[in-house]
Amino acid sequence: MVTVSCSTGIIYEFNKDNPPIQEVDSGTTLTIQTYDCFQNQIQTPETEVTAIDWNKINPATGPIYVKDAMPGDILKVKIEKIEIGDQGVMVVGPDLGVMGHSIEKMTSKILPIKDGKVHFNNIALPVNKMIGVIGVAPEGEGVNCGTPGAHGGNMDNKMVTEGATLYFPVFAEGALFGLGDLHGAMGDGEVSVSGVEVPGEVTVTLEVIKGQSLRHPMLENDEVFTQIVSAETLDEAAKLATSEMIELIVQKSGMPLEEVTMLMSAAGQSEICQIVDPLMTARFVVPKWLLAEMGVLLIR
């Protein structure tokens, strides 16, 4: 199996001009090692958060060039396994996150991770391993790794975890895939601007899908299909995720728009991914049992 080390190459923005650090065939399974979102700069409670290099934030390991991936294709990314380190870090500070207006100084907290729990003081939180930053090179100019978009990026979607499959629109030759910003736990919203930030490694299978296109990333797991959209406001992201999912189901099913809209209102879910990044991210979730009842296969 191919292993890609973060010491081999990292990016701070997704960009079609980034030189690839690895080339793989469609269908390759590989393991990608990552730093945490602070590039492992905060290791002890004594580390002064204001003293770290803030230019080294949200590094993603990559980019990885996937042969035969061309603009207009879809890159399928199956998350086979996520392994994380034995401690995480969280940070709050002025003007960061939902409560940044009330927080007066930068504060960090080191959180041990053992026995499937994140230990916060005397509170044991269940581990919820997930990937915060994952995506491909965008169309046009580069997008820093802290910002989500149609290419993926910093979506901070807790559903991006083991067993999930992501589908990204391909905008550049080779797709130029990368990932980073792993979390040991994170709630919907990521309200403090950090989850439990951890280094680790992710095993993925990358596959090119021809003959079908997307405008924004989609996610599939055993139970649901979701449409993920990032926009300037949460309202805009949620509405666009909903409308794109409905339009795709209309296209695939041949059912009238009016009926699909009613079905989605009855059984679909509009959910928040994150509300703290430069763009907000929402998802619209449809159960697979409903799609099966409708005879709809969203991605071939």
Domain spanning 2-209, CATH class: mainly beta
pLDDT tens for 55-74 read 999 999 999 999 999 999 99
Give 16's pLDDT tier (boundaries 50, 70, 90). very high
Fold of 218-294: Endonuclease I-creI (3.10.28)
**Looking at the predicted structure, is the pLDDT value of residue 51 above 90?**
no
Q: How far apart are CA 154 and CA 277, in angstroms?
A: 8
pLDDT tens for 236-287 read 999 999 999 999 999 999 999 999 999 999 999 999 999 999 999 999 999 9
The mean pLDDT value of the chain amounts to 97
Number of H helices, E strands in the chain: 3, 23
Give 43's pLDDT tier (boundaries 50, 70, 90). very high
Q: How far apart are CA 133 and CA 125, in angstroms?
A: 22
Phi/psi of residue 48, nearest 5 degrees: -75, 115
What is the average per-residue pLDDT within 46-59?
Answer: 90
The structure tokens 């736990």 sit at 185
Percent of the chain with pLDDT strictly greater than 90:
97
154: closest CA among 13, 6, 38?
13
User: What is the structure's pLDDT at 225?
Assistant: 98
User: What is the structure's pLDDT at 9?
Assistant: 96
User: According to CATH, where is 2.60.120.580 located in the chain?
Assistant: 2-209
* Residue predicted with more confidence, 49 or 287: 287
Its pTM stands at 0.97
CB 286 within 8 A of CB 268: yes
User: According to CATH, where is 3.10.28.20 located in the chain?
Assistant: 218-294
User: What is the structure's pLDDT at 1?
Assistant: 82
Q: What is the CA radius of gyration of the chain?
A: 19
Omega cis (within 30) before 63: yes
Q: How far apart are CA 161 and CA 200, in angstroms?
A: 13
What is the average per-residue pLDDT within 180-197?
Answer: 97
Give 50's pLDDT tier (boundaries 50, 70, 90). confident
pLDDT tens for 139-188 read 999 999 999 999 999 999 999 999 999 999 999 999 999 999 999 999 99
Give 106's pLDDT tier (boundaries 50, 70, 90). very high
Q: How far apart are CA 230 and CA 240, in angstroms?
A: 9
User: What is the structure's pLDDT at 54?
Assistant: 87
